[in-house]
Amino acid sequence: MRKISSIAALVLFPLMATAAEAPYLFDFVQGKETGKAYSKLIARENLPDWVKRGGTSTPASEVTINGQKYLALSGCKPHNCPAESIAILYSPDKGDIHGVYSEYDASSDKQTLKWMNLDPIESVEMRNVLFNTLGGN
């Protein structure tokens, strides 16, 4: 019986560890509440289809801005991350969501940013965090 319990613990431990990991953007997009917030954020923008699915991403990180905790998530166009990417900040406590979409044209060396759900004056720190998150930082 002890042997069976030990085996069960070894089998279930990796599953418990994964459940506690930070979400990826594509997981976030599929969540009931988070997916709703994300869809609302990008709804008015004319963004590529990969954005709706979350693209290629890395695990979220937690940041604090003005005393409020946010998940910082990013994703990029599959097979062409330098050309297109998105970063979002989401407050699990308040449900606030903010974002930036980046499009980079290598031929003209021009980057275009679309800021989403940000106050133009009071969001300097948030803009900095979102811009740094675009690169996966």
pLDDT tens-digit readout, 50-63? 999 999 999 999 99
pLDDT tens-digit readout, 66-92? 999 999 999 999 999 999 999 999 999
Average pLDDT estimate for 110-124: 88
Q: Which of 96, 94, 59, 98 is nearest to 75 (CA)?
A: 59
- Helices H / strands E in the chain, number of each: 5, 6
The tally of CA atoms less than 13 A away on the side-chain side of residue 127 is 10
Q: Which of 93, 114, 94, 95 is nearest to 103 (CA)?
A: 114
In this prediction the pTM is 0.82
At residue 111, the 3 state secondary structure works out as: strand
Q: Which of 134, 102, 125 is nearest to 115 (CA)?
A: 102
Domains of the chain from N-terminus onward:
22-134 (3.40.1420.10)
Average pLDDT estimate for 20-45: 93
Tell whether the model's pLDDT for residue 28 goes beyond 50. Answer: yes
Mean of all residue pLDDT scores within the chain: 86
Average pLDDT estimate for 5-29: 61
Q: Can you tell me which residue has the tokens 């800021």?
A: 115
Q: Biggest alpha carbon distance in the chain?
A: 68
